[in-house]
Structure 1
Amino acid sequence: MTTARLPLFPLNAVLFPGLVLPLNVFEERYRAMMRELLKTDADEPRRFAVVAIRDGHEIAPTAAGMPDPTSTSVERGPADGFGPDLIQTFHRVGCIADAAKIRERPDGSFEVLATGTTRAKLLSVDASGPYLTAELDELDEEPGEESGALAEGVLRAFRSYQKRLAGASERSLTTGANLPDDPSVVSYLVAAAAVLDIPSKQRLLQAPDTATRLREELTLLRSETAVIRHLPSLPAADLTRPPIHPN
């Protein structure tokens, strides 16, 4: 287990290893983080940690992330809007991200494209600098028992779930010929693509091993598919396009 100290980017979302994270960075505290990451050579990983914010803990007026065009710009400190006890504000398992693309716009904001790499456990949070930093333990991914067979079952269940959700003609993660062979990759792809709330996604992220995550996904997918079956027709949804997260 490796311990690292990294910039911390809290989000109202869960990032999984292997998944792409587009970010629209406009707050000064996160701009400062990106400027610091840009000091790292482009050939080296530009690493930062992403953690999901617990429900009800982000209390600032702009908590949803979108700037208010009717108000004057007020710079927030690194911990502003997150409540008095930072370590309790965030879920304790997050994901380390590598910012492969950081592009500064003329107005000083940033367009960032990062990829989740490794799960990590949050040990402490430091608000003494211009942005939050955290000490984290990187978590190994254990396969668990029967992960291969479980992955096959999850992919079948996901096909059925997505057809019910988006319509049989909708392009699916799993309709291509090049399906992932690695059960852990399957578990993270399905966790990211399924339409679940943040607590459910967080439980999947922090599962102790791949097999446990796949078993929970199988239960969730079967349950969600049964619910959708009894609902009126739903509009088609593109589950393969990641959302852009404003800070």
Structure 2
Amino acid sequence: MTERLPIFPLNAVLYPGLVLPLHVFEERYRRLVADLLAEPEGRPRRFGVLAIKDGREVAPVTEDGGTAGPLDGLGTETGDPLEALYHIGCVADVASVTPQQDGRYELLVTGTTRFRLRAVDTAGPYLVGQCEPIAEQPGNGAGALAGGVERAFRTYQKRLAGARQSSLAGEQELPDDPQVLSYLVAAAAVLEVPVKQRLLACADTTERLAAELDLLRRETALLNWLPSVPAVDLTRQQFSPN
């Protein structure tokens, strides 16, 4: 069964359980937010987030409060959203909306359920997708892999902090649930969007954890050789188990 959802193309990947701030500045997405706010009280305010394969349309808020500008046509010659967007995304529930005087919005959203884009309607002011939910599967051996991923992630964090000549603000408590851990690590690791997208699209938790274990070991080894590699501050990552 599919559900019609407004689509937010992003130059980032949203994961279930993770919190993401968004700065909405382009007119078509202001309209989307306004339509969500006009929904009757009690109805869920949500949309689908899909990563863009090439180019940027709406950007998450950066550490300095800035955002990337829009790119018309979603970065393709044809402007076909089905070609420009990855087809597996995450539903975003709107936790808070702060209107700005100039008509922009500051949003705080939480990722909930993965979905597969089956079709897209381009007739309106913004994209609307036919979205099919993807059930979460644990796979075989997720629990056994989780411990190794946790250890590798802590080592990775320490190497990354050392590369930035900074210190971690205490040891981060990591979730016990292998599925939740897999999404937190995917969100927190400093990886390119295509790699993050592959982690989102993994068939089950075991596959995601196995991929993360290889990635963390590779990235940690790279940081040992290149200690000046720039990266975001992992201690600022926001996470929600909901």
For the residue of structure 2 that corresponds to 1:101, the secondary structure is strand
CA RMSD, Structure 1 to Structure 2 (Å): 2.3
Structure richer in helix, relative to its length? 2
Q: Percent of counterpart pairs with the same letter?
A: 55
The question of whether the paired residues in 1 share the 8 Å contact of 2:150 and 2:174 is answered with no
Q: Which runs of 5+ in 1 are unaligned?
A: 59-63, 68-75
Within 5 Å, give how 1:50-199 maps onto structure 2: 50-55=49-54, 65-66=68-69, 80-83=73-76, 84=78, 85-167=80-162, 169-171=167-169, 175-176=171-172, 178-199=173-194
Q: How many equivalent pairs are there?
A: 224
Change (3 A) 1:152 1:55: same
Question: What do residues 170-190 of structure 1 show as CA deviations (whole Å, max 9, x unaligned)?
Answer: 136xx24x5312111000000
Residues 21 and 242, structure 1, Cα contact 8 Å, conserved in 2: no
Letter aligned with residue 171 of structure 1: A
The 1:236/1:29 distance shift into structure 2, 3 A limit, reads closer
**Matched ranges for 1:15-34 at <5 A:** 15-34=14-33
Q: Could you tell me the TM-score, scaled by structure 2's length? A: 0.85
Could you say which structure has the greater relative contact order, defined with CA pairs below 8 angstroms and 6 or more residues apart?
A: 1
For residues 100-150 of structure 1, what are the alpha-carbon distances to aligned partners after superposition, in whole Å with 9 as ceiling and x for unaligned? 111211111101100000110011111111111100101011000110111
What's the CA shift for 1:236? Answer: 7.8
Q: Deviations over 1:206-240 (max 9, x none)?
A: 00000000000000000111111112345685213
Structure 2 unaligned segments of length 5 or more: list them. Answer: 58-66
Change (3 A) 1:81 1:187: closer
CA distance in 1, matches of 2:114, 2:23: 23
Cα separation, 1, equivalents of 2:115 and 2:207: 17
How far off its partner does 1:169 sit? 3.3
Does 1:11 find its partner at 2:10?
A: yes
Q: What amino acid is aligned across from residue 120 of structure 2 in structure 1?
A: V
Please give the alpha-carbon distance, in whole angstroms, between the structure 1 residues aligned to 2:188 and 2:207: 18
1:202 Cα offset (Å)? 0.5
List, as ranges, runs of 4+ consecutive aligned residues in structure 1 with deviation greater than 6 Å. Answer: none
After the TM superposition, which residues 228-243 of structure 1 pair with which residues of structure 2 at under 5 Å, given as runs? 228-233=223-228, 237-242=232-237
Shift of 1:55: 2.3
Mapped partners of 2:38, 2:223: distance in 1: 48
Instruction: Please say if residues 143 and 210 of structure 1, whose CA atoms lie closer than 8 Å, have aligned partners that are also in contact.
Output: yes
